[in-house]
Chain A
């Protein structure tokens, strides 16, 4: 975040606060002797463009992430899941995500799915994320802000999307090559494809640290 961007934001009225729905799972919550809490590993915070919001990650993602010893959390931005709707566009949703990120106990990884990737990209411009993961990004601004603190960025897309302009633009903006997963971009919360995707992300995170 540049100083000029901060000055601009400090002069803009903040979005109306909402009571955000927040789901989290700590490794200890799994009641599994095999799973050890890893204090070195960064927590993970997920968001999605899916209207279910935080609840979408309950079935598979949170358990699987917590299973690697990480604190796993997901948040519903305004208008999703249990979070009341409120005014504000992309910026307000990015604000919700940053607000959720600062309540995570330690510096967190941001994972954004679909529109959630756009919010995560904006949030990473204001909050020094430990890493930024964009899954099948949609509606990401043409020039996303430079992530503060220089976190590693991962772009994961469905095989079908690799050639779309949107994905190309995001890949160019961050100067990274996308990783592909089998299956549809909407089908990331359940099933074999979802597990493969999640394992790819988690092994990338583990390698980065």
Chain B
């Protein structure tokens, strides 16, 4: 730390530091500003919009990315998307939307672009010292903040699997985030590895563009079309959630009957209950499997020169292998212990999926996979965080009670055994929203003075 210690840290008083200017960061800035906080938001890249901005060098967008959750379930609650947009907007529309959000609420003036946070360290009890490293030049700055909100997301550090012989493979191997241009698929024999939403979407792109498409899937997951019963699927299912309890099971089964039998016909045996983890939402995939333009295979056993061998003994010779194997959460600036990260697991253990178990003024926004749109969840999370910071300042006694409540909420929320590591961040949307609702109610009981 010698290079930084020549000058004293600049104290920003009660201001809050938000790390990341993606969707979650923007929502956090807006909600904190609305509650009267001064905010500095630091963005490593030179653009806002995070994963939705193709100019972001860590953007995970693949050709033709669209939302997998419908507009009404994905829009930020207090800033709806234009109602003449399609049910499932494209990534370009998402970027337009987030840019409009930032402009509408005047957020850009609080964002420092090209500023990577190299270090966050607790000082003086509950405050933080933040070391900001600008992209150009080497003059790192040290600033002190009353609180830090991490909104760096979990879709930027690719999860790369290892297979025997992968590094000696003679064809091209790309992670889904490196694909970018659909023309790279054209005329190639493509192998897509990974059965999540991105793998399924890329397989569909390859089915129409590539010479042939093989899709390697390790385990069966739930496949839903984007529309169920004439409505966007997630909306139809959310409506079922509003029905009396005794009807829910019946109505859900009725909605899922068609897609489930189609999946069974295509030889896809889903593991687990329907919504234990995020389902794959793609209406075209089954059609492509049905007309043979996507051939489904099991797990890859090894790579061998030009060939790829599967666990069932068959071999193919692809030109291009796309690893749609998802991402790992990665926190570069904060001591992992503060986020409850144990051992080698990259997954943090947070209270209510947002509050640090160690520091009262450290929170993470948007680190959930609720199986519904994440933006509204982040909105309510940051709403709760902003109110928590207000309450903590004004009423320490209530703050202590609240801390106990959050801990009990966190204890109830245990991950079901045997979930894939990929689904460690999955939460049941209804349960999590109910828990968020209780948290917000407690914080809002008496308006913080």
Q: B-facing mask of A132-166, CB < 8 A → 1, else 0?
A: 00000000000000001100000000000000000
Residues B80 and A99 in contact, CB atoms below 8 Å apart: yes
Cβ–Cβ < 8 Å partners of A14 in chain B:
72, 83
Residues B103 and A11 in contact, CB atoms below 8 Å apart: no
Q: Does chain B have a CB within 8 A of A105?
A: yes
Cβ–Cβ < 8 Å partners of B73 in chain A:
10
Considering only residues 255-285 of chain B, those with a C-beta below 8 Å from chain A are none
Residues A103 and B82 in contact, CB atoms below 8 Å apart: yes
* Band of interface residues on B: 20 to 34
Residues B83 and A99 in contact, CB atoms below 8 Å apart: yes
Residues A17 and B83 in contact, CB atoms below 8 Å apart: yes
Known: A103-B82, A148-B78, A149-B34. A3 touches B104 (CB 8 A): no
Considering only residues 352-405 of chain B, those with a C-beta below 8 Å from chain A are 376, 380
Q: B-facing mask of A7-28, CB < 8 A → 1, else 0?
A: 1101101110101000000000
Cβ–Cβ < 8 Å partners of B440 in chain A:
2-3
Residues B103 and A105 in contact, CB atoms below 8 Å apart: yes
Cβ–Cβ < 8 Å partners of A104 in chain B:
104
* Band of interface residues on A: 20 to 34
Residues B242 and A11 in contact, CB atoms below 8 Å apart: yes
Cβ–Cβ < 8 Å partners of B77 in chain A:
1, 6, 126
**CB closest chain-A residue, reference B237:** A11
Q: Is the interface of B mostly helix, strand, loop or mixed?
A: helix
Q: Does chain B have a CB within 8 A of A107?
A: yes
Determine the distance from Cα of A128 to Cα of B34 in the docked complex, in whole angstroms.
9
Q: Does chain A have a CB within 8 A of B171?
A: no
Residues A10 and B238 in contact, CB atoms below 8 Å apart: yes
Cβ–Cβ < 8 Å partners of A106 in chain B:
103-106
Known: A17-B83, A128-B34. A1 touches B242 (CB 8 A): no
Q: B-facing mask of A76-105, CB < 8 A → 1, else 0?
A: 000000000000000000010011001111
Considering only residues 90-118 of chain B, those with a C-beta below 8 Å from chain A are 100, 103-106
Q: Does chain B have a CB within 8 A of A4?
A: yes
Cβ–Cβ < 8 Å partners of B120 in chain A:
none
In the complex, what's the smallest C-beta–C-beta distance from B92 to chain A, in angstroms? 18
Q: Does chain B have a CB within 8 A of A127?
A: yes
**CB closest chain-A residue, reference B376:** A6
In the complex, what's the smallest C-beta–C-beta distance from A10 to chain B, in angstroms? 6
Q: A-facing mask of B58-81, CB < 8 A → 1, else 0?
A: 000000000000001100011110
Cβ–Cβ < 8 Å partners of B231 in chain A:
13
**CB closest chain-A residue, reference B447:** A150
Q: Does chain A have a CB within 8 A of B437?
A: yes
Cβ–Cβ < 8 Å partners of B239 in chain A:
11
**CB closest chain-A residue, reference B33:** A149
**CB closest chain-B residue, reference A3:** B437
Residues B433 and A7 in contact, CB atoms below 8 Å apart: yes
Determine the distance from Cα of A204 to Cα of B73 in the docked complex, in whole angstroms.
37
**CB closest chain-A residue, reference B372:** A10
Determine the distance from Cα of A19 to Cα of B83 in the docked complex, in whole angstroms.
10
Determine the distance from Cα of A7 to Cα of B100 in the docked complex, in whole angstroms.
24
Cβ–Cβ < 8 Å partners of B436 in chain A:
3
In the complex, what's the smallest C-beta–C-beta distance from A203 to chain B, in angstroms? 24
Residues A11 and B241 in contact, CB atoms below 8 Å apart: yes
Interchain CB contact (< 8 A) of A102 among B104, B235, B376: B104
Q: Does chain A have a CB within 8 A of B84?
A: yes
Determine the distance from Cα of A7 to Cα of B434 in the docked complex, in whole angstroms.
10
Q: With a 10 A CB-CB cut-off, give which of A1, A8, A11, A98 has the most chain B CB atoms.
A: A11
In the complex, what's the smallest C-beta–C-beta distance from B365 to chain A, in angstroms? 16
Determine the distance from Cα of A13 to Cα of B77 in the docked complex, in whole angstroms.
15
In the complex, what's the smallest C-beta–C-beta distance from A128 to chain B, in angstroms? 5
Known: A11-B241, A11-B242. A102 touches B106 (CB 8 A): no
Determine the distance from Cα of A8 to Cα of B436 in the docked complex, in whole angstroms.
15
Interchain CB contact (< 8 A) of A10 among B83, B105, B376: B376
Cβ–Cβ < 8 Å partners of B78 in chain A:
1, 126-128, 148-149
17 pairs across A/B with beta carbons < 8 Å?
A: A3-B436, A6-B380, A10-B235, A14-B72, A14-B83, A15-B83, A17-B83, A17-B84, A99-B80, A106-B103, A106-B104, A106-B105, A107-B105, A126-B78, A126-B80, A128-B34, A128-B105
B→A interface (CB under 8 Å): 34, 72-73, 77-80, 82-84, 100, 103-106, 231, 235, 238-239, 241-242, 376, 380, 433, 436-437, 440
19 extra interface residue pairs, beta carbon distance < 8 Å, beyond A3-B440, A10-B235, A128-B78 = A3-B433, A3-B436, A3-B437, A6-B77, A6-B376, A14-B72, A17-B83, A99-B82, A102-B79, A102-B80, A102-B104, A103-B82, A104-B104, A106-B104, A107-B104, A107-B105, A107-B106, A127-B78, A128-B34
Q: Lowest 6 A-B CB distances belong to which pairs?
A: A17-B83, A11-B242, A3-B437, A6-B77, A149-B34, A11-B239
